[in-house]
Structure 1
Amino acid sequence: MSKHDMTLMAHLLRRAGFGATPDELEIYVARGYEAMAEELLNPGTDHAMPDDIIRRYHVDQSELRQLDSAGAYWLYRMFTTQCPLQEKIALFWHGLFATGYTKLNQARALLNQIDMFRRLGLGRFDTLLLELSKDPAMLLWLDNQDNHKGAINENYGRELLELFSMGIGNYSEDDVKEAARAFTGWTLKNAEYMAVRASKDSIWPYGRINWHFEFREDDHDDSEKTFLGESGQFNGEQIIDIIARQEATARFISTRLFQFFAADEIDADGEPVVEAMMQSYFDSGYEIRAVLRTLFNSDYFKSEQARYARVKGPVELLVGGIRLAGSYRRPTLGANQLAFQTFFMGQGLLVPPTVEGWHEGMEWIDSGALVERINFVAKELGDVSKPGIRDLIIRLDSDNNGPISPEQLVDQCLELVGHLEVDAETRDALIEYAAQEGELNLQGHQPGDVAEVRVGNVLRMIASTREYQLA
């Protein structure tokens, strides 16, 4: 396996997932880049930690009404999933279609929305928009239950166009109003008591946990509307059909996907890739999977230019560090604190600051958030008792038959954490740190001894580098 192949696969797994362990990378490289990209884009049955196991240890994750429990539940899925792009695309849509606990006061409804993103997030964009428009969490978040025939509420119609599909400058105020009229009568209600529903969906069949979509025909404005230059007796489904076929929609979605999976900023070399993604959007019938396939297989994405061109979001950083360290492979007390940790880093799961979502890229980094980011990951990677770190130490020992020079220690540790490439100045600083105690000899090492702690300290320093904070 060539160094180039390992580095390229590590890059793909950081973007389309949350990174990979050395063992995983070797398996993936053996399959080949294109085949692995296709496998990621077509996830099968996930084998994440089962719900019954989680609930056996975390009673609070049975009903999932509380924010920290719901956040920890999703994090367990990210830590243990074998379909990383399925969770990564759900995280993308959560940021784009930002819906928050602060208004709903009901986390289970938000997790239902996340599950919808898992199921539909790589499929057709128009299908996803339609299900989003019927989603109880979104209906409440943007007040469509208050959108009535003869008394419209424009919140959902406006954000559907501005933030979810087309972007400012591609529609008029009249289009907003016409969209709102088309979505009148799209509302929600609590479930009536039914034995099947009660046993399947809710321990409180009359409670808010069982919100579901309802269309009220008598509250729907079925008169003629003119929307984006087309006229007819449009309902919400037809509005979405019109939106999905707009060039502005293809550009908006392709741009946002590029920024999340490729680079925070789109330069002259990135623009042709966005154009190709737009063409794939139309050629495939609006399929997100096809758009991402074009991106992942592009020369730009595979180039050195695209590496470390994104700041890792807090959730990406936290999940990647925990997966590498091997933490939380089993239900663990205190897992709910991880949901708070993402909040301290600036990205509280299920708590976007506004309907606009989080401001990403360099805005993830400020003095407070950076300290939280570095401290958390450094603690994970520096803990030689963690099963994943123990695996790295054993591999480091097996790859060396004798003393390890500071240069070898740094270079091999950089490979172990995902074939990380740091600049010359950073590498020199890491080597200088590793050289303080001379050569390292792992022969006969014991759990937690001085030799292992030295490895942990180098990994801790790597976690604080600029490149580790990037993807």
Structure 2
Amino acid sequence: MVTETKFSPKTEHRYQIAHLLRRAGFGSSSDELDYYDSIGYEKTVEELLTPVNITRMPDSLITRYHTETSATMGPYGGPTEWIYRMVSTNAPLSEKIALFWHTIFATSVTKLSGAIPMRRQISMFRDKGLGSFSDLLISLSKDPAMIYWLDNWTNHKDEINENYGRELLELFSMGVGNYSEEDVKECARSFTGWTVVNGDYIDAQASKCSFQPYGRYAWQFQYLPEDHDDGEKEFLGEKGNFTGEDIVQIICKQDATATFISRHICNFFLADEVPVTQWPYEAPNNPKLIEKLKKVYFETNYNIKEMLRVLFLSEEFKDRSNFYKKVKSPSELVISVMRLTDKFGNGPRLDARNVFLAMVNMGQHIYNPPTVEGWHGGLEWSDTGTLVERINFCSEQFGDTESPGVKKMVDTLVSRYRETPSDFIDSCMEILGSIEIGEETKKTLISFAKEHKSEESLTPTDYVKTMLQLITTTREYQLC
């Protein structure tokens, strides 16, 4: 006799925690949600912000199956390694914050001679991404991938290159309209001498290297004082013999910077905004919350973790009006599905690169943003082509009952086969992480359930599997 599995009661408190886990991580299973529900919302926030005893699939195991990840050579190594980390980690916010900064400080592997510098940049985002924004900007300015990507290695005291200085102000910190062309020039002058070791040789090799495992380099930052313009500069109203560090400190104390970063946080973690290019002309969705985050930004020496703590604990974040207000990015959708299905639960798989390629086909090639603006996100994630890719991916993954997570869900739900269609659909949504769907969608699913149960056209196992596939291919499942 099959024993019916009991689920925890559905409460608003539980739905709020599920919402938090979708935004600060990649969703949750019902079992994970039971744990966080037991410790409460506030403690869940703290565990996400300050994880201890972090575990994930070890690199040594991954490289046995994917040798290209050991040096991240070729087009698959770096992204595949990151996918394994996102799927297997018990500290999801560490990976989510890396995605956040990868979206803003958009750097592409296509210009580099290999993925090692990109992998180190992503690692830097994990290490610095929840700390002081000023520390993060200094680390970014010394990051070899960024230096090469935005040409600061060709920024010399006698021949400045404004590329990095311009993007630092426009896309990375302040936004259009908050600085002058003269500020761009003075910013670039301050970063002269910030380069990579043996840049000319690396550039020559990068131009001729193929995606074969030869000629790759672990780049290093180098400061050349003889190439630094140490003359007086005037930047954002201040005068001095500024260095790059000085420029970062001046940038970080600007009100425009606090506004820009606060709006980015709301855009990524709270609700989709218009693309960043429209921000100078469109008011933010949540101006009062942005003011609250700005206050924390200045009070805590620009600390991102403290800003997120205030956001996650705010009434605005927990309010139902902000549930399902974001379209999942391809990475969020793919990783949330892979964590639920636990397809890598028994270790790496040789077909893991197909997961990465599915993400690419949905419109997001991690390690390779389309431009220095990154991905626009929101509704732009979903068009007629990418929506089909999303639906097919979810259907395929939840239809694979050999995946440990799918098998566990099916076995659990088979015991509830005799429930009314409405109750059974609720059970499915609970096991998928206390997700919710609209009334019209539920009516359609109930109609399907009644038809197939009355005709007994599906076995209990196939009925469960099909219902999971249908729910995860709904419009609502594309949102978080």
Residue type of the alignment partner of 1:404: E
Aligned to 2:40: 32
Task: Name the counterpart of 2:448.
Answer: 433
- Contact 1:277–1:294 (CA under 8 A) maintained in structure 2: yes
Residues 121-136 of structure 1 mapped to structure 2, 5 A cutoff: 121-136=129-144
Q: Is the 8 A contact 1:405 1:439 kept in 2?
A: no
* Deviations 1:373-429 (CA, angstroms, capped at 9, x unpaired): 11101211222222111222233245x4x7222222211111111212111111000
Letter in 2 for 1:70: G
Relative distance call for 1:124 and 1:380 in structure 2 (3 A) is same
Equivalent residue in structure 1 for 2:325, among 306, 309, 316: 309
Quote the residue 2:70 is aligned against: 62
Give the CA deviation at 1:351: 0.7
1:221 to 221, 229, 237: 229
2:162 is the alignment partner of 1:154: yes
Question: What is the aligned partner in structure 2 of residue 189 from structure 1?
Answer: 197
* Cα displacement string for residues 94-151 of structure 1 (whole angstroms, at most 9, x for unaligned residues): 0100000111131111010000000010000000000000000000000000000010
Q: Distance in 2 between matches of 1:156 and 1:65?
A: 26
Equivalent residues of 1:406, 1:440 under 8 A apart: no
Q: Does 1:387 align with 2:404?
A: yes
- The amino acid that maps onto 2:330 is P
Q: Which runs of 4+ in 1 moved over 4 A?
A: 266-269
1:238 counterpart (246, 249, 260) = 246
CA distance in 1, matches of 2:358, 2:367: 13
Within a 5 Å distance, the mapping from 1:282-431 to structure 2 comes to 282-329=298-345, 330-398=347-415, 400=416, 403-431=418-446
Residue 466 of structure 1: how far off its partner (Å): 1.3
Q: Which has the higher contact order (CA 8 A, sep 6+)?
A: 2
> Which structure 2 residue ranges, 5 or more long, are not aligned?
1-8, 200-213, 275-282
Secondary structure of the equivalent of 2:375? coil
Alignment check: 8 A CA contact 1:120 1:128 kept: yes
Q: CA distance change for structure 1 residues 50 and 103 in 2, over 3 Å: closer, same or farther?
A: same
Query: Is 1:403–1:440's contact at 8 Å kept on the other side of the alignment?
Result: no
Instruction: Say which is worse superposed, 411-420 or 359-368, in terms of deviation.
Output: 411-420
Using the TM superposition, give the Cα deviation of residue 2 of structure 1 relative to its aligned residue in structure 2, in angstroms.
4.5
Give the Cα–Cα distance (whole angstroms) in 2 for the partners of residues 246 and 208 of structure 1.
40
- Distance in 1 between the 2:164 and 2:461 partners? 55
Which is further off, 100-109 or 309-318?
A: 100-109
Whole-angstrom CA distance in 2 between matches of 1:44 and 1:236? 34
In structure 1, the residue corresponding to 2:76 is in which secondary structure?
helix
Q: Pick one of 293, 296, 301 that aligns with 1:277.
A: 293
Distance, in Å, in 2 between the alignment partners of 1:440 and 1:168 is 62
SS at match of 1:322: helix
**What is the one-letter code of the residue matched to 1:455?**
V
Deviation by residue 1:67-91 (Cα, 9 ceiling, x = unmatched)? 2121110000000000000000000
CA distance in 2, matches of 1:440, 1:238: 73
Which residue number corresponds to residue 200 of structure 1?
none
- Paired with 2:403 and 2:477, the residues of 1 have a C-alpha distance of 19
Distance 1:312 1:283 in 2: 32
The secondary structure found in structure 2 opposite 1:353 is: coil
User: Corresponding residue for 2:470?
Assistant: 461
**Corresponding position of 1:203:** none
Residues 258 and 274, structure 1, Cα contact 8 Å, conserved in 2 = yes
Report what 2:203 is aligned to.
none
Give the equivalent residue in structure 1 for 2:185. 177
TM-score, with structure 1 as normaliser: 0.92
Q: What code does the residue aligned with 1:84 have?
A: P
In 2, the alpha carbon distance for the partners of 1:423 and 1:91 equals 29
Does the Cα contact within 8 Å between 1:123 and 1:289 map onto a contact in 2? Answer: yes
What is the SS of the residue equivalent to 1:67?
Answer: coil
Shift in Å at residue 269 of structure 1? 6.9
Report the TM-score, using the length of structure 2 for normalisation.
0.90
Unaligned runs of 5+ in 1: 192-205, 442-448
